Chain A
Amino acid sequence: MTMFRMMAVLIAALAAAGPGRAEIGIQEVTSPGGITAWLVEEHDIPFTALELRFEGGTSLDLPGSRGAINLMAATLEEGAGDLDAQGFAAARDALAADFSFSSGQDTIGVSARFLTENRDTAVGLLRQALMEPRFDEDAVARVRGQILAGLAADTKDPATLAAQIFDAMAYGAHPYGSSGDGTAESVASLTRDDVIEAHRATITRDRMFVSVVGDITAAELGPLLDRLLGDLPEVGRQMPTRADWLLEGGVTVEAFDTPQSVILFGHDGIKRDDADFFAAYILNEVLGGGRFGARLMTELREKRGLTYGVSTFLAPINLGQMMMGQVATANNTVGQSIELIRAEWTRLATEGITAEELAATKTYLTGSYPLRFDGNGQIADILVGMQMDGLPIDYAVTRNAKVEAVTLADVARVAERLLQPGQLHFVVVGQPDGVVSTE
């Protein structure tokens, strides 16, 4: 305990202006072995939620083995140490622990929750999955079959098709231009060695973020972190370069036999660390927040009944930035919907938002923020996301003030810069009436 180098100095009390006032104490804990985690102690319920992220994700796939990292992450739970897949699952379930492993274009994620009464045993089991995965041939084959089934389903899903077409046009040969799940061909050719290599290159300490929320003290957490993560390799594969946006404005139609077209649209976006990010965030809420009252929702759904839902979102991904939106509408109203979206984009770019919209959006964003901190797993997820975004540990306290500080002039400035109606590209998957690909 005296060896324990604890840096639990900063207690960030989340106290929001406006309705709702949540207080959570976020501590930064550094283990004896030098692993840093953000911790919220919550001793009311006898369990702990743990979130791990490894930056890089499926974008670290080597050329020719697209899908290896996804296959690896999906096979982590299929046996470790002296336990095969059956043995591992039985051991985990007997502890009533939950582990889940996921991969995305920027991260590999590990989510775990375990009871206080068997915490050490559960953490030992999770350590085995991370450190000593077996990747048995039969397990790799089984998971590969499941992934291939998913890829086959993707070819019949209009929303997935739209995303794949959009990404390929926007990012070309960069990893962002293709699905991290791989293709049927690339996945079929993956070997056990590819999986082992993917594991060694991506689950490493140099790209790791940790958050813990629940029935555990800072003093207990330090040794736990070292035991769980201390023996991981120090350094992983080099990160890819930033992704250039290659797409011009226009329309791309992919014929698909369905009564309703799915439309994905967007253009280049704004970085998370941009000084105008909060103004852009408010701008996006006004334009295409998925809620009633947002401009696109009002024009397309409330006034005209063209769709069940339309929304836009900022996607400041690690190596690029997108401003995207999506809508599904009947084939005979695709043209009308695209015109309305372009018109709203133009109106907002030239006129900005109103003082009433700014005030209402600020009230919503600041009021809803504390409500996000709901439940141990949810809080752990938010905290690990903050770390990945490079935010300070007191961000939860300062965030609402940043929202409040945004002025109409800020929004107008970012609207003119960010919203480029001429650059908007629409990918339509369906049988739209009277809408054809440009060029």
Chain B
Amino acid sequence: MTGLLRGGLLATVLAMPAAAEEVTDFTLNNGLQVVVIEDHRAPVVVHMVWYKVGSADEAPGNSGVAHFLEHLMFKGTDDVASGDFSATVMAQGGSDNAFTSWDYTAYFQRVAADRLDLMMKLEADRMRDLRLTEDDVATERAVILEERSSRTDSDPGALFGEQTRAAHYLNHRYGTPIIGWRHEMEQLSRADALEFYRTYYAPNNAVLVVAGDVTPEAVKAMAQQHYGPLAPTLDLPPRLRPTEPPHMAERRLQMADARVAQPYVIRSYLAQERNSEAQDKAAALTVLAEVLGGSGTTSVMARALMFDDPKAVYASAFYNGNTLDVGSFGLTIVPVPSVSLDQAEAAMDDVIADFLTDGVDPVALERIKTQVSAAQIYGKDNVSGLAQRYGAALTTGLTVADVQAWPDALKDVTADDVMAAAREVFDRRNAVTGHLEKQGEPAL
């Protein structure tokens, strides 16, 4: 309980699949992809449906509708009354929830393995038969506005993050917040939600992931019974979203807010994302983020900025490449009180410049490779985490084979690969740099 900084603000996480997990995948006739991950240690199962649609697929002017629909999906169908979905899961001792990202929307339940059939029945039912009243919609719109107040408007860091993303993406919907801009959220209607639902919530736009104490044969039989009869969306639009034009001008943002306790600098560059059968560059960028900022003690940035010449209480690097379209690579520094944001940014840039000259410490690279291998072992202990990894991959353009090839892609990264990735990604024309300051305090 030493505050958020030691907890790892913007900490990078190596997402490592365990190659040895038992995975089976198949596709139903209506287009539903199914992934089964076996873990027979405990009689528990995680049942997830992932839709290949997220906030970046929304129409202009409708920001927040993907997330709004996620809330409304708990409101009932022709067969299940409003609120009864969660009540039924609860009556089985299970838990359920959902989440929305730029690239996907997912619904999941965690229950005893012998309750899987009922979960499939419920989830299949709401894939095509959602019923919404105007009252449901009005009340839930108030809830998402309160959610925005809690998560974003009450937090200057979250507000600044929105502004930074909006400046970073010139054309892509990644620049629009998942929860939506407030003025657009206020206008979201029942028709907006239902149109989005009818188009995108269909078996041929979904991935079913079942993980735990199950067999592929049993899952296949159940999936065919419950999901098999659902009609696909025949005119499912291709997933072509606005792409980024060449970036020619660096962007810089400054924001001040009275609620800021800890000023910081954040810099984000556009970066190559993971792509199917072409993950090498993403693997190099993942290792680069680890080398620069993975450890709060021994990474290049931590060592230089927190130890050798302590200008920061926190400094790190992060890579977000698990995206359908262009990803990002970032650097951040939270200076000690006597260092200004300009000085902090200059110190951060000096560290990167030195790194580009000095190269990768081979011992550090070796440590990271060891941790990659260990993560495959530790990862097997968390079957929900595995399910999440596959679901996210399969809704961002990757395949089961890509997920299983990823640990080796990371292990194959050489020092030269890391440096090549660094030289390519650190292009200020692609970057946005933000300074978040305390309001009412003169800059140092």
Q: Which residues of A contact B150 (CB under 8 A)?
A: 260, 308-309, 328
B3 at the interface (CB under 8 A from A): yes
| B142 contacts A306, C-beta separation under 8 Å | yes
B258 within 8 A of A: yes
| B147 interfacial by beta-carbon distance below 8 Å | yes
B87 at the interface (CB under 8 A from A): yes
Whether A259 and B140, one on each chain, are in contact in the complex, defined by CB atoms closer than 8 angstroms, is no
Q: Report yes or no: A367 in contact with B92, Cβ–Cβ below 8 A.
A: yes
Question: CB-CB < 8 A to B151: which residues of A?
Answer: 308
Complex Cα distance, B382 from A361, in Å, reads 27
**Contacting pair B139 A292 (CB below 8 A):** no
Query: A residues 136-186 with Cβ under 8 Å of B?
Result: 142-143, 145-147, 149-158, 180-181
The answer to whether B298 touches A86, judged by C-beta atoms less than 8 angstroms apart, is: yes
Q: Write the chain A residue with the least CB distance to B310.
A: A142
Asked if A360 is at the interface (CB within 8 A of a chain B CB), the reply is: yes
Chain B, 354-394, CB within 8 A of any chain A CB: 363, 366-367, 370-371, 373-375, 377-378, 380-384
Question: A89 vs B336: C-alpha distance in the bound complex, in angstroms?
Answer: 22
- Measured as residues with beta carbon below 8 angstroms from the partner, the interface class of chain B is 35 or more
Q: A19-B112, A44-B41, A330-B149 are in contact. Are A86 and B303 (CB under 8 A)?
A: yes
The answer to whether B93 touches A368, judged by C-beta atoms less than 8 angstroms apart, is yes
A326 to B177, CA, bound (A): 26
Check A307 against B370 for contact (C-beta < 8 Å). no
A74 to B7, CA, bound (A): 11
A330 and B377 contact, Cβ closer than 8 Å, known pairs A19-B114, A156-B261: no
**Closest-CB distance, A29 to chain B (whole angstroms):** 21
- Cβ of B1 < 8 Å from any Cβ of A? yes
Q: Is the interface of A mostly helix, strand, loop or mixed?
A: mixed
Residue in contact with B91 in the complex, picked from A155, A330, A363, CB distance below 8 Å: A363
A20-B146 in contact (CB<8A): no
A180 with B146: in contact, given A113-B378, A375-B381 (CB under 8 Å)? no
Q: How far is the CB of A354 from chain B (nearest CB, A)?
A: 14
**Quick check: is A305 within 8 A (CB to CB) of the other chain?**
yes
Q: Which residue of B lies closest to A181 (CB)?
A: B1
CB <8 Å contact, A158 and B86: no
- Residue B125 lies at the interface, judged by CB distance under 8 Å to chain A: no
Tell me, in angstroms, the Cα distance from A308 to B289 when the chains sit together. Answer: 35
On chain B, the residues within 8 Å of A90 by CB distance are 297-298, 363, 367
- Tell me the nearest residue of chain B to A42, going by C-beta: B41
| B44 lies within 8 A of A374 (CB) | yes
Q: 8 Å CB contacts to B: which residues of A288-331? A: 291-293, 301-309, 328-330
- Would A146 and B5 be within 8 Å (CB), given that A89-B295, A156-B261 are in contact? yes
Q: Which residue of A lies closest to B438 (CB)?
A: A156
Contact of B153 among A260, A329, A367 (CB under 8 A): A260
Complex CA distance for A104 and B1, rounded to whole angstroms: 7
User: Is the Cβ of A181 less than 8 Å from the Cβ of B298?
Assistant: no
Q: Is A307 in contact with B143, judged by CB distance below 8 angstroms?
A: yes
CB of B229 within 8 Å of the partner chain: no
Q: Is A7 an interface residue (CB 8 A)?
A: no
Give the bracket for the number of chain A residues in contact with chain B.
35 or more
The interface residues of chain A lying within 8 Å CB-to-CB of B267 are none
- Does B2 contact A20, Cβ atoms closer than 8 Å? no
Looking at B139, B306, B375, B377, the one whose CB has the most chain A CB atoms below 10 A away is B377
CA distance A369 to B113 in the complex (A): 14
Contacts of A292 in B (CB 8 A): 74, 83, 86-87, 90
Q: Report B299-321 residues with CB < 8 Å from chain A CB.
A: 303, 306-307, 310, 313-314
Interface check A252, CB cutoff 8 A: no
Q: How far is the CA of A89 from the CA of B334 in the complex (A)?
A: 21
Q: Are B42 and A96 in contact (CB under 8 A)?
A: no
Question: What distance in Å separates the Cβ of A382 from its nearest Cβ neighbour in chain B?
Answer: 13
A303 to B261, Cβ gap below 8 A?
Answer: no
Q: Does A258 sit at the interface, judged by CB under 8 A?
A: yes
Residues of A within 8 A of B380 (CB): 44-45
**Given the complex of chains A and B, what is the CA–CA distance between A352 and B110 in angstroms?**
30
- Verify B154–A258 contact, CB threshold 8 A: yes
A54 at the interface (CB under 8 A from B): no
Distance between B166 CB and nearest chain A CB, rounded to angstroms: 20
Q: A377 contacts the other chain (Cβ, under 8 Å)? A: yes
Contact with A along B130-164 (1 / 0, CB 8 A): 00000000111111101101110110000000000
Once the chains bind, are B94 and A368 in contact (CB under 8 Å)? yes
Which residues of chain B are within 8 angstroms of A143 by Cβ–Cβ distance? 2, 6
Q: How far does the alpha carbon of A46 sit from the alpha carbon of B373 in the complex, in Å?
A: 12
Chain B residues with CB under 8 Å of A146's CB are 2-3, 5-6, 313-314
Residues of A contacting B401 with CB < 8 Å? none
| Residue B414 is within 8 A (CB to CB) of chain A in the complex | no
Tell me whether B93 and A20 are in contact (CB under 8 A): yes
Q: Name 26 interchain pairs, CB-CB below 8 A, sorted by A.
A: A20-B44, A44-B380, A46-B377, A90-B297, A96-B370, A96-B373, A145-B336, A149-B262, A150-B5, A153-B3, A257-B259, A259-B153, A260-B149, A292-B83, A292-B90, A302-B83, A304-B139, A306-B142, A328-B150, A328-B154, A330-B149, A363-B91, A369-B93, A370-B43, A373-B42, A376-B381
Q: Give 15 new A-B contacts, CB below 8 A, not counting A20-B115, A94-B367, A258-B259.
A: A45-B381, A74-B6, A78-B297, A86-B307, A93-B371, A96-B374, A150-B2, A260-B146, A305-B138, A308-B143, A360-B91, A363-B90, A364-B90, A370-B93, A373-B42
